Protein backbone atom coordinates (compact mmCIF):
# COMPACT_ATOMS: atom_id res chain seq x y z
CA UNK A 1 0.00 0.00 0.00
CA UNK A 2 1.12 3.56 -0.67
CA UNK A 3 -0.08 7.07 -1.33
CA UNK A 4 -1.92 7.44 -4.62
CA UNK A 5 -0.12 9.71 -7.14
CA UNK A 6 -3.41 10.66 -8.82
CA UNK A 7 -5.20 12.49 -6.01
CA UNK A 8 -4.45 14.31 -2.76
CA UNK A 9 -4.04 11.14 -0.71
CA UNK A 10 -3.45 11.32 3.03
CA UNK A 11 -4.26 7.72 3.99
CA UNK A 12 -2.44 5.16 1.81
CA UNK A 13 -5.01 3.86 -0.65
CA UNK A 14 -2.94 2.75 -3.66
CA UNK A 15 -2.36 -1.02 -3.90
CA UNK A 16 -0.56 -3.48 -6.15
CA UNK A 17 -1.67 -7.11 -6.31
CA UNK A 18 -1.40 -10.26 -8.41
CA UNK A 19 -4.45 -11.84 -10.01
CA UNK A 20 -4.38 -14.80 -12.41
CA UNK A 21 -0.57 -14.48 -12.60
CA UNK A 22 -0.79 -10.82 -13.70
CA UNK A 23 0.07 -7.74 -11.69
CA UNK A 24 -2.54 -5.02 -11.24
CA UNK A 25 -2.74 -1.74 -9.40
CA UNK A 26 -5.48 0.64 -8.38
CA UNK A 27 -6.67 3.18 -5.86
CA UNK A 28 -9.62 2.41 -3.62
CA UNK A 29 -10.21 6.10 -2.88
CA UNK A 30 -10.18 7.94 -6.21
CA UNK A 31 -11.24 4.97 -8.34
CA UNK A 32 -8.15 4.74 -10.56
CA UNK A 33 -7.84 1.24 -12.07
CA UNK A 34 -7.73 -1.63 -11.67
CA UNK A 35 -5.14 -1.62 -14.44
CA UNK A 36 -1.74 -3.06 -15.31
CA UNK A 37 1.70 -1.45 -15.52
CA UNK A 38 0.95 -0.07 -18.98
CA UNK A 39 -2.21 1.65 -17.81
CA UNK A 40 -0.36 3.06 -14.79
CA UNK A 41 2.49 4.48 -16.88
CA UNK A 42 0.08 5.95 -19.44
CA UNK A 43 -1.84 7.72 -16.68
CA UNK A 44 1.27 8.85 -14.77
CA UNK A 45 3.14 10.26 -17.76
CA UNK A 46 0.22 11.14 -20.03
CA UNK A 47 1.63 9.07 -22.90
CA UNK A 48 0.24 6.67 -25.50
CA UNK A 49 0.59 2.88 -25.55
CA UNK A 50 3.89 2.74 -27.51
CA UNK A 51 5.55 5.39 -25.37
CA UNK A 52 4.51 3.58 -22.20
CA UNK A 53 6.33 0.45 -23.40
CA UNK A 54 9.52 2.45 -23.92
CA UNK A 55 9.31 3.80 -20.36
CA UNK A 56 8.64 0.34 -18.92
CA UNK A 57 11.63 -1.16 -20.77
CA UNK A 58 13.86 1.62 -19.44
CA UNK A 59 12.73 0.97 -15.87
CA UNK A 60 13.10 -2.80 -16.29
CA UNK A 61 16.72 -2.44 -17.44
CA UNK A 62 17.46 -0.29 -14.40
CA UNK A 63 16.26 -2.89 -11.87
CA UNK A 64 19.01 -4.75 -9.94
CA UNK A 65 19.82 -8.33 -10.87
CA UNK A 66 17.61 -10.85 -9.10
CA UNK A 67 14.81 -8.33 -8.52
CA UNK A 68 11.39 -9.87 -7.97
CA UNK A 69 7.94 -8.34 -7.75
CA UNK A 70 6.65 -7.46 -4.28
CA UNK A 71 3.03 -7.34 -5.40
CA UNK A 72 0.62 -8.93 -2.96
CA UNK A 73 -0.44 -12.45 -3.93
CA UNK A 74 -3.99 -13.26 -4.91
CA UNK A 75 -5.51 -16.33 -6.49
CA UNK A 76 -6.36 -17.69 -9.92
CA UNK A 77 -9.68 -17.59 -11.72
CA UNK A 78 -9.96 -21.37 -11.66
CA UNK A 79 -9.60 -21.66 -7.90
CA UNK A 80 -10.87 -18.22 -7.01
CA UNK A 81 -14.48 -18.84 -6.01
CA UNK A 82 -13.62 -21.91 -3.93
CA UNK A 83 -10.69 -20.18 -2.21
CA UNK A 84 -12.67 -17.02 -1.46
CA UNK A 85 -15.58 -18.93 0.06
CA UNK A 86 -13.29 -21.10 2.16
CA UNK A 87 -11.39 -18.10 3.55
CA UNK A 88 -14.60 -16.15 4.16
CA UNK A 89 -16.12 -19.06 6.10
CA UNK A 90 -12.92 -19.42 8.11
CA UNK A 91 -12.89 -15.71 8.98
CA UNK A 92 -16.35 -16.07 10.54
CA UNK A 93 -15.24 -18.82 12.90
CA UNK A 94 -11.72 -17.63 13.79
CA UNK A 95 -10.91 -15.39 16.74
CA UNK A 96 -12.92 -12.21 15.94
CA UNK A 97 -10.95 -9.97 18.30
CA UNK A 98 -9.54 -7.76 15.51
CA UNK A 99 -12.98 -7.16 14.04
CA UNK A 100 -14.39 -6.40 17.48
CA UNK A 101 -11.60 -3.92 18.24
CA UNK A 102 -12.02 -2.34 14.79
CA UNK A 103 -15.69 -1.67 15.56
CA UNK A 104 -14.97 -0.60 19.14
CA UNK A 105 -12.58 2.10 17.90
CA UNK A 106 -15.38 3.47 15.75
CA UNK A 107 -17.92 3.55 18.55
CA UNK A 108 -19.74 0.46 17.30
CA UNK A 109 -18.64 -2.02 19.96
CA UNK A 110 -22.13 -2.46 21.39
CA UNK A 111 -23.37 -3.61 17.99
CA UNK A 112 -20.41 -5.74 16.94
CA UNK A 113 -22.31 -9.04 16.98
CA UNK A 114 -25.20 -7.60 14.98
CA UNK A 115 -22.96 -5.94 12.38
CA UNK A 116 -20.66 -8.94 11.95
CA UNK A 117 -23.63 -11.27 11.50
CA UNK A 118 -25.53 -8.95 9.18
CA UNK A 119 -22.62 -8.09 6.89
CA UNK A 120 -20.92 -11.46 7.38
CA UNK A 121 -17.39 -10.29 8.17
CA UNK A 122 -14.91 -11.39 10.78
CA UNK A 123 -11.18 -11.98 10.90
CA UNK A 124 -8.57 -13.24 13.30
CA UNK A 125 -6.49 -11.82 16.11
CA UNK A 126 -4.70 -9.33 13.83
CA UNK A 127 -6.74 -8.49 10.76
CA UNK A 128 -10.33 -7.74 9.75
CA UNK A 129 -11.49 -9.91 6.85
CA UNK A 130 -14.28 -8.37 4.76
CA UNK A 131 -15.90 -10.67 2.16
CA UNK A 132 -17.91 -9.30 -0.75
CA UNK A 133 -20.81 -11.53 -1.82
CA UNK A 134 -22.99 -11.90 -4.88
CA UNK A 135 -26.61 -10.68 -4.61
CA UNK A 136 -27.70 -14.21 -3.75
CA UNK A 137 -25.25 -14.30 -0.86
CA UNK A 138 -24.11 -17.75 -1.95
CA UNK A 139 -20.78 -16.84 -3.52
CA UNK A 140 -17.85 -14.71 -2.40
CA UNK A 141 -16.47 -12.48 -5.15
CA UNK A 142 -13.62 -10.77 -3.28
CA UNK A 143 -11.91 -10.56 0.10
CA UNK A 144 -10.41 -7.47 1.69
CA UNK A 145 -7.97 -7.63 4.59
CA UNK A 146 -7.82 -4.52 6.76
CA UNK A 147 -5.63 -3.51 9.66
CA UNK A 148 -7.13 -2.05 12.81
CA UNK A 149 -6.53 1.51 11.62
CA UNK A 150 -8.67 0.74 8.58
CA UNK A 151 -5.80 0.63 6.10
CA UNK A 152 -6.30 -1.90 3.33
CA UNK A 153 -3.57 -4.50 3.81
CA UNK A 154 -4.34 -6.50 0.70
CA UNK A 155 -7.25 -7.58 -1.45
CA UNK A 156 -7.95 -10.91 -3.04
CA UNK A 157 -10.05 -9.81 -5.95
CA UNK A 158 -12.24 -11.84 -8.25
CA UNK A 159 -14.69 -9.03 -9.01
CA UNK A 160 -16.04 -5.98 -7.26
CA UNK A 161 -18.95 -5.60 -9.63
CA UNK A 162 -21.67 -5.62 -6.96
CA UNK A 163 -22.57 -3.03 -4.36
CA UNK A 164 -21.36 -4.03 -0.90
CA UNK A 165 -24.30 -5.41 1.07
CA UNK A 166 -26.31 -6.30 -2.04
CA UNK A 167 -27.10 -9.72 -0.53
CA UNK A 168 -29.26 -7.91 2.06
CA UNK A 169 -31.50 -6.38 -0.61
CA UNK A 170 -35.16 -7.15 0.00
CA UNK A 171 -36.38 -4.27 -2.17
CA UNK A 172 -36.51 -1.81 0.70
CA UNK A 173 -37.98 1.52 -0.47
CA UNK A 174 -35.06 3.58 0.90
CA UNK A 175 -31.39 2.96 0.08
CA UNK A 176 -28.48 4.71 1.78
CA UNK A 177 -25.27 4.42 -0.21
CA UNK A 178 -21.96 4.84 1.65
CA UNK A 179 -18.46 5.11 0.23
CA UNK A 180 -17.06 1.89 1.70
CA UNK A 181 -17.56 -0.98 4.10
CA UNK A 182 -16.85 0.68 7.46
CA UNK A 183 -19.03 3.70 6.61
CA UNK A 184 -21.69 1.23 5.53
CA UNK A 185 -21.53 -0.46 8.95
CA UNK A 186 -21.71 2.90 10.73
CA UNK A 187 -24.82 3.99 8.84
CA UNK A 188 -26.40 0.54 9.16
CA UNK A 189 -26.03 0.89 12.92
CA UNK A 190 -27.80 4.24 12.79
CA UNK A 191 -30.71 2.91 10.70
CA UNK A 192 -30.86 -0.52 12.36
CA UNK A 193 -34.39 -0.06 13.74
CA UNK A 194 -35.91 1.07 10.43
CA UNK A 195 -36.79 -1.95 8.23
CA UNK A 196 -37.55 0.36 5.30
CA UNK A 197 -33.87 1.32 4.92
CA UNK A 198 -31.12 -0.69 3.25
CA UNK A 199 -27.54 0.51 3.67
CA UNK A 200 -25.05 -0.52 0.99
CA UNK A 201 -21.54 0.63 0.08
CA UNK A 202 -19.51 1.32 -3.01
CA UNK A 203 -17.28 -1.75 -3.42
CA UNK A 204 -13.99 -0.02 -4.29
CA UNK A 205 -13.99 3.53 -3.04
CA UNK A 206 -15.49 6.72 -4.40
CA UNK A 207 -16.77 6.04 -7.90
CA UNK A 208 -19.62 7.12 -10.11
CA UNK A 209 -22.50 4.75 -10.86
CA UNK A 210 -22.38 1.69 -13.08
CA UNK A 211 -25.36 0.75 -15.20
CA UNK A 212 -26.05 -2.40 -13.19
CA UNK A 213 -26.03 -0.41 -9.93
CA UNK A 214 -28.51 2.11 -11.29
CA UNK A 215 -30.82 -0.71 -12.33
CA UNK A 216 -30.72 -2.24 -8.85
CA UNK A 217 -31.61 1.13 -7.29
CA UNK A 218 -34.26 2.10 -9.82
CA UNK A 219 -37.60 3.19 -8.37
CA UNK A 220 -36.29 3.65 -4.83
CA UNK A 221 -35.36 6.72 -2.84
CA UNK A 222 -31.60 7.10 -2.80
CA UNK A 223 -29.49 8.89 -0.22
CA UNK A 224 -25.77 9.41 -0.95
CA UNK A 225 -23.46 9.58 2.07
CA UNK A 226 -19.90 9.79 0.72
CA UNK A 227 -16.75 11.22 2.31
CA UNK A 228 -16.25 14.95 2.59
CA UNK A 229 -13.21 15.08 0.33
CA UNK A 230 -12.46 15.69 -3.34
CA UNK A 231 -12.96 12.08 -4.40
CA UNK A 232 -16.20 11.67 -2.44
CA UNK A 233 -17.70 14.89 -3.75
CA UNK A 234 -16.73 14.07 -7.33
CA UNK A 235 -18.41 10.67 -7.02
CA UNK A 236 -21.53 12.27 -5.50
CA UNK A 237 -21.76 14.70 -8.44
CA UNK A 238 -21.51 11.79 -10.90
CA UNK A 239 -24.28 9.95 -9.08
CA UNK A 240 -26.46 13.06 -9.02
CA UNK A 241 -25.98 13.45 -12.77
CA UNK A 242 -27.55 10.00 -13.27
CA UNK A 243 -29.98 10.18 -10.35
CA UNK A 244 -31.02 13.85 -9.98
CA UNK A 245 -33.60 12.81 -7.40
CA UNK A 246 -30.95 11.40 -5.06
CA UNK A 247 -30.32 13.28 -1.82
CA UNK A 248 -26.65 14.03 -1.20
CA UNK A 249 -25.46 14.27 2.42
CA UNK A 250 -22.03 15.92 2.73
CA UNK A 251 -20.49 15.13 6.14
CA UNK A 252 -18.15 18.13 6.00
CA UNK A 253 -14.53 18.70 5.06
CA UNK A 254 -12.35 15.72 5.98
CA UNK A 255 -15.23 13.85 7.56
CA UNK A 256 -16.89 10.52 6.87
CA UNK A 257 -19.73 8.56 8.43
CA UNK A 258 -17.46 6.73 10.88
CA UNK A 259 -16.36 10.03 12.43
CA UNK A 260 -19.90 11.22 13.12
CA UNK A 261 -22.05 10.77 16.21
CA UNK A 262 -25.68 9.73 15.98
CA UNK A 263 -26.67 13.31 16.80
CA UNK A 264 -24.56 14.71 13.96
CA UNK A 265 -25.94 12.19 11.48
CA UNK A 266 -29.47 13.05 12.57
CA UNK A 267 -28.73 16.74 12.11
CA UNK A 268 -27.31 16.22 8.60
CA UNK A 269 -30.28 14.09 7.59
CA UNK A 270 -32.75 16.63 8.94
CA UNK A 271 -31.15 19.42 6.93
CA UNK A 272 -30.60 17.30 3.83
CA UNK A 273 -34.10 15.85 3.70
Who's near 100: CB < 8 A, 6+ residues apart?
A: 109, 112
Span 215-236, pLDDT tens digits: 999 999 999 999 999 999 999 9
> Is 104 in a helix, a strand, or coil?
helix
Strand partners, 131: 143
How far apart, in whole angstroms, are the C-alpha atoms of residue 220 and residue 173?
Answer: 5
Contact present, 25 and 34 (Cβ < 8 Å): yes
Closest CA to 199 of 101, 119, 107: 119
How far apart, in whole angstroms, are the C-alpha atoms of residue 97 and residue 8?
Answer: 33
Q: Across residues 7-17, what is the average pLDDT? A: 79
Integer CA distances (angstroms), 41 to 23, 44, 199, in order: 13, 5, 37
Of the pLDDT bands very low, low, confident and very high (cuts 50, 70, 90), residue 272 is confident
How far apart, in whole angstroms, are the C-alpha atoms of residue 199 and residue 35?
Answer: 29
Q: Across residues 137-146, what is the average pLDDT? A: 83
Q: What is the pLDDT at residue 75?
A: 39
How far apart, in whole angstroms, are the C-alpha atoms of residue 243 and residue 245?
Answer: 5
Write down all domains in the chain, each with its CATH number in brackets. Answer: 1-73 (3.90.580.10), 77-160 (2.20.25), 168-273 (3.40.1360.10)
Of residues 75 and 244, the one with the higher pLDDT is 244
Contact present, 201 and 181 (Cβ < 8 Å): yes
- For helices 181-190 and 112-119, give the axis angle rounded to 10 degrees: 120
Closest CA to 215 of 171, 179, 176: 171
The DSSP call for residue 246 is P
Of the pLDDT bands very low, low, confident and very high (cuts 50, 70, 90), residue 176 is very high
Closest CA to 6 of 41, 38, 30: 30
Contact present, 16 and 23 (Cβ < 8 Å): yes
Of the pLDDT bands very low, low, confident and very high (cuts 50, 70, 90), residue 12 is confident
End-to-end alpha-carbon separation of the chain, Å?
Answer: 38
Amino acid sequence: MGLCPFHDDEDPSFAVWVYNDREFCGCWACGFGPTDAIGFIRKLHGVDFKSSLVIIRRHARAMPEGWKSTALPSTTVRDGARSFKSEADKSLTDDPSAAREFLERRGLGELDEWLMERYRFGGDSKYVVVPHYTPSGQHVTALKYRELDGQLLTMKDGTLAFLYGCWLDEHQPFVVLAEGESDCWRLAAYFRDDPRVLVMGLPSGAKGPKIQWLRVLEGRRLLLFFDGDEAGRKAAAEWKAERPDAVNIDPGDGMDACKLTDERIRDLLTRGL
